[in-house]
Amino acid sequence: MFMRRSKKSGTQFTHPVSYDLNPFSPVFHHISQRLESLKSVPQWILITTECPRPEMALLLSSQLCQKTIQLRPSRCMNEYEVVMKAIRSGNACAIMASGHFSSQQQASLNRLSRQHQCEVFFAHSTCQSLH
């Protein structure tokens, strides 16, 4: 992994990031801190339809409820294409996507996200959340 500094917020990011949505996971605390660092960035945090929704505790702990948008499913694009388009739009400081990508697709998304100063999180849920 390597570190980079966001030009917009001065926040340091590490790529790639996979996370576990289990609130008892040690990764949960790390992701919460990473998201907390994004709250001053004037952009959205986007969640794909295929991504398991994070527990409300994650968004509340980082005070990001007002900046988070769940994307509607696309009729003509798969999740990979949706994430690529979201990164290119420049409207997101972070995108939370499912972990159903090949390693090549994840690498491609991470390269593109670095070019657009965007953070990409890949979800691997081990628990079911209530919605």
Q: Is residue 74 part of a domain?
A: no
Please give the C-alpha separations between residue 67 and each of 8, 25, 28, in angstroms, as whole numbers: 16, 24, 19
Domains in the chain, number: 1
Q: What is the mean pLDDT of the chain?
A: 78
Q: Is residue 112 part of a domain?
A: yes
Domain that holds residue 85: 44-52+79-124
Q: What is the CATH number of the domain that holds 93?
A: 3.30.1330.30
Neighbouring C-beta atoms of residue 121, cutoff 10 Å? 20
Q: pLDDT value at position 100?
A: 92
pLDDT-based confidence at 23, cuts 50/70/90? Answer: low
Q: What is the pTM of this model?
A: 0.74
The percent of residues in the chain predicted with pLDDT above 90, rounded, is 46
Q: Residue 128: is its pLDDT beyond 90?
A: no
Q: Is 67 helix (H, G, I), strand (E, B) or coil?
A: helix
Give residues with Cβ within 8 angstroms of 11, minimum separation 6: 5, 37, 38, 41
- Cα atoms in the 13 Å half-sphere on the side-chain side of 124: 7
Q: Is residue 4 part of a domain?
A: no
Tallying the residues shown for the chain, one arrives at: 131
Can you say whether the dihedral through the CA atoms of 119, 122, 125, 126 is positive or negative?
negative
Q: Is residue 88 part of a domain?
A: yes
Q: Is residue 101 part of a domain?
A: yes
Nearest to 6 by CA among 31, 29, 28, 39: 39
Q: Is residue 9 part of a domain?
A: no
- The 10s digit of each residue's pLDDT in 63-103 is 778 888 999 999 999 999 999 999 999 999 999 999 899 99
